Structure 1
Amino acid sequence: MIIDADLVRTLVAEQFPQWADLPVRPVAVGGNDNRTFHLGDAMSVRLPSAEGYVASVAKEQRWLPVLAPHLPQPIPVPLAQGRPGAGYPWPWSVNRWLDGDTASRETITDLTAFAVDLARFLAALQAVDTGGEPAAGEHSFWRGAGLHHYDDETRRAIAALDGQVDAAAATGEWEAALAAEWHGEPVWFHGDVANGNLLVRDGRLAGVIDFGTSGVGDPACDLVIAWTFLDAASRSAFRTALRTDDATWQRGRGWALWKALILLAADAGHAGAAAQIDLILATAARAVRR
């Protein structure tokens, strides 16, 4: 299916004629789960790219306005929900546009300060009370649920990568993460805290986007960025500011290991994933020695 600016113009003109004269153009940095377009200067249009991502539309429409007033940085706020049309088969959203550059080592002034800001954002997110809904599950791709949902996939990846990674160490770290079971009360999690979903302005965290895998459950999945983006000093500051206990940190490392393993198994040339696995295992070894 081709999801392009022409399709968006047609959908907007048919369903929201008050915005039909606004220019439509793709965003500079797009994602895989959704296709996003500028609608004028103050709005964006977000369309799921496959059926598996459709559940996020209703979820974001329902919950993002609930979350936004409680968070220290802005998040997308839905302005309208579109319906299938013009050959596009799924619902879609019009959101308020958030200004900012994608987080990177070049756009961030102080990585430790950034990590602390992010930790405070996540702490505020976890503090929002929703009565246990939307509970983690298929709609969140099991983020916020138990790591056992990805046990078979992880073990297959370790077996396939034997010789490229330390299979014994990876298995031991994965099993330690499985054993560090979560027994807390369910809290809000974002589900995909990656630098591509974090916005920076004037060198500081300025917004958080893409809540498609969000929900209520175990927040350990939101720690992955500690090993995929932060350095040693900012990783320590992130953990301290978030007041993360040992078991949750262990599960977070498990989530990071799972993602890096499946990426590397799918693409043997994925140097970034290989480096992340080395870092995850190294930090695990240091934690054991302490």
Structure 2
Amino acid sequence: MMHDDQVNIDIDIARRMIRDQFPQYRHEDIASVGSPGTVNAIFRIGSKCAARFPLRAMNPTECADMLRSEAAAMVEIGEYCSFPTPQPIGLGAPGPRYPMPWALQTWIEGEVATPRGLSGSTIFALDLAHLVASLRQADTRGRRFDGRGRGGHLPDHDHWMAVCLENSQRLLDVARLRDLWARFRELPAAGPVVMSHKDLIPPNLLMRGERLVGVLDGGSFGPADPSLDLVVAWHLLDAKRRATFRSGLQVDDLSWKRGAAWAFQQAMGLVWYYRLTNPAMSVLGRSTLSRILDDPDI
């Protein structure tokens, strides 16, 4: 169990709910998908669909609202993303053994990216730059950052950083990391919000060979700090390929440092929180922090 409020969902429960509520898939194979993801349990349905069951307990009405909002965002990101991204199919209802709504979406083939797998690929770095550039082309339509999660003001995360630093005492060089956050939080805003994926981490990117072939988890697509999607460079690329990515997007010094700050904020929470329950995410956090700390420009 990764979370104190985690809801039980397994293949037997999921298979029954999918087949009962969407009988058109009654004869399809349904299998659990192993993933380092932390928000949903994923079950593949045949070769073209997947079901997402939220893992953390929520009021069913609030959960349904969240899933509808995510579906709308998935449609919007699909209109601009230069790579395939899952599209919504429908919503499932709570059942006797799973108490919340859940979602059906299309399936995209590909291998889940890893922090080191394509870190030295120039082709992959350019694909990532092309991805971020394509998302920025979407119109914000006057929308502002909604205040949830990363993508607003860095100092808003001071309390969470204090929690992370306290819980990392025996895991990381906390004194050095505290000093770095003190500098990061003082960085001024980098410009008007742009449309952002908001969570470009390795488990949300699919690859085949050296190419990016899919972008997952687009349900948070919305306005945010223009530096936020730059985290992908710190999560996935070595120093030389980060420079290629940065050049492809023509990122200025301030935006680049704010991108590192958002990657730092995310990575700090991964190392200790998932150390025992999701080691792959903890390793991602360590890898990202190492890249930031070793970069002379940061």
**Please, what TM-score do these two structures have when normalized by structure 2?**
0.82
Partner in structure 1 of residue 214 of structure 2 = 207
Identify which of 212, 235, 252 aligns with 1:228.
235
Partner in structure 2 of residue 92 of structure 1 = 102
Matches within 5 A, 1:112-123: 112-123=122-133
In structure 1, give the amino acid aligned to 2:31. R
Asked if the contact 2:53/2:102 (under 8 Å) is kept, the reply is yes
Partner in structure 2 of residue 153 of structure 1 = 160
Matches within 5 A, 1:46-195: 46-51=52-57, 54=63, 56-104=66-114, 108=118, 111-133=121-143, 135-138=145-148, 142-158=149-165, 161=168, 165-167=172-174, 169-182=176-189, 184-195=191-202
Any idea what SS the aligned residue of 2:241 has?
Answer: helix
How far apart, CA to CA, are the structure 2 residues paired with 1:91 and 1:4?
Answer: 15
Could you tell me how far 1:41 is from its partner in structure 2? 1.1
Per-residue CA shift, 1:143-175, capped at 9, x if unaligned? 222222321232344456568655554334223
Identify which of 255, 259, 266 aligns with 1:252.
259
How far apart, CA to CA, are the structure 1 residues paired with 2:292 and 2:116?
Answer: 24
What's the % identity of the aligned pairs?
31
Could you tell me how far 1:178 is from its partner in structure 2? 1.6
How far apart, CA to CA, are the structure 2 residues paired with 1:182 and 1:251?
Answer: 8
Where does the alignment leave 5 or more consecutive residues of structure 1 unmatched?
none
Asked if the contact 2:115/2:235 (under 8 Å) is kept, the reply is no
Asked if the contact 2:86/2:107 (under 8 Å) is kept, the reply is yes
In structure 2, give the amino acid aligned to 1:10. R
Where does the alignment leave 5 or more consecutive residues of structure 2 unmatched?
1-6
Partner in structure 1 of residue 269 of structure 2 = 262
**Please, what TM-score do these two structures have when normalized by structure 1?**
0.84
Change (3 A) 1:88 1:162: closer
Any idea what SS the aligned residue of 1:131 has?
Answer: coil
Q: Please identify, of 203-212 and 166-175, the stretch whose mean Cα deviation from structure 2 is larger.
A: 166-175
How far apart, CA to CA, are the structure 2 residues paired with 1:244 and 1:262?
Answer: 26
How far apart, CA to CA, are the structure 2 residues paired with 1:176 and 1:193?
Answer: 23
Asked if the contact 1:157/1:261 (under 8 Å) is kept, the reply is yes
Partner in structure 2 of residue 26 of structure 1 = 32
How far apart, CA to CA, are the structure 2 residues paired with 1:70 and 1:275?
Answer: 30
In structure 2, give the amino acid aligned to 1:75. T
Change (3 A) 1:41 1:241: same
Aligned pair count reads 283
Asked if residue 281 in structure 1 is aligned to residue 293 in structure 2, the reply is yes
How far apart, CA to CA, are the structure 2 residues paired with 1:235 and 1:128?
Answer: 24
Asked if the contact 1:10/1:86 (under 8 Å) is kept, the reply is no
Asked if the contact 1:132/1:186 (under 8 Å) is kept, the reply is no
Identify which of 2, 12, 19 aligns with 2:18.
12
Could you tell me how far 1:206 is from its partner in structure 2? 0.2
Change (3 A) 1:127 1:47: same
Aligned CA-pair RMSD? 2.9
Q: Please identify, of 221-230 and 264-273, the stretch whose mean Cα deviation from structure 2 is larger.
A: 264-273
Partner in structure 1 of residue 224 of structure 2 = 217
In structure 2, give the amino acid aligned to 1:233. K
Q: Please identify, of 270-279 and 58-67, the stretch whose mean Cα deviation from structure 2 is larger.
A: 270-279
